[in-house]
Amino acid sequence: MPEQYMEQYVSRRQSAPRLEFEAAAIYEYPEHLRPWLEALPKQPGVYFFHGESDTMPLYIGKSVNIRSRVLSHLRTPDEAAMLRQSRRITWIQTAGELGALLLEARLIKEQQPLFNKRLRRNRQLCSIQVQAGKPQVVYAREVDFSQEPNLYGLFANKRAALQTVQTLADELQLCYGLLGLEATTRGRACFPLGAQALRRSLLWKGERGSAPCPFSRRAGLDSRQLLALGRCRGAERDRGRG
């Protein structure tokens, strides 16, 4: 996703009405947590509910509006139990929603807080990395997105990432086989680009060997093409910490 679209999306998320996040919710919080609520920023970032331990938080969450999201945590019995055990609330501001998402995923993976229910989903978080002209899906659980080079796009799972690559291949008329999106077999075209493209593609030719894909000169993805997905910028500088 291009950066300008990401910014517009975040802006819409911030300006959209959130009826369940009314400021009145502050009066439903346990008395001992209310001083911490007063200092919460209305900015993107990651927040922490801490119990008796100074090192291991009870819960790690993220939001485009830290204050609103924290105020919403009183809707289930599990959340009520977490608030009773919490002693303080801290936060780390990020430059945007993407930075908050990546930071939350990494911290949950490292610390595995007791009350987090979203670890499984975050472990599926992935991006696309180009290696030798071929797109490879890499996972947040395997590499540090803030340090790994040549990452493009951010996806909830592998299927979403591959669907995006396939769409990009269709637009650029790239070969599915050479991109590793599908296996090629004798007697069949090397990629399904629709009726017109299939008429232009060459089939495998028995003893004479295989005919080259008519789009083989554009078989590989490069960074300029993948910029359409938006570079995965995980290395954001923290703007503040509570």
Query: Per-residue pLDDT tens for 140-187?
Result: 767 767 677 778 878 878 888 888 888 887 777 777 776 777 776 655
pLDDT band at 82 (very low <50, low <70, confident <90, very high): confident
Question: Measured on CA atoms in the order 99, 120, 110, 21, is the torsion positive or negative?
Answer: positive
Supply 237's token pair.
Answer: 């500088």
Q: Which of 77-86, 114-123, 168-177 has the highest mean pLDDT?
A: 77-86
pLDDT band at 196 (very low <50, low <70, confident <90, very high): very low
CA separation for the pair 106, 56 (Å, rounded): 14
CA separation for the pair 94, 44 (Å, rounded): 6
Q: What is the reported pTM? A: 0.45
pLDDT of residue 146: 66
Which residue in 66, 65, 82, 69 sits closest to 117, CA to CA? 82
Q: What is the SS3 assignment for 98?
A: helix
| Cα dihedral value 68, 237, 5, 97, nearest 10 | -30
**What's the rounded mean pLDDT across residues 57-63?**
93
Q: Which domains does the chain have, with CATH numbers?
A: 3-121 (3.40.1440.10), 127-229 (no CATH)
113, pLDDT greater than 80: yes
Which residues, other chains included, contact 231 with Cβ-Cβ below 8 Å and sequence gap of 6+? 3, 151, 152
**What's the rounded mean pLDDT across residues 16-23?**
39
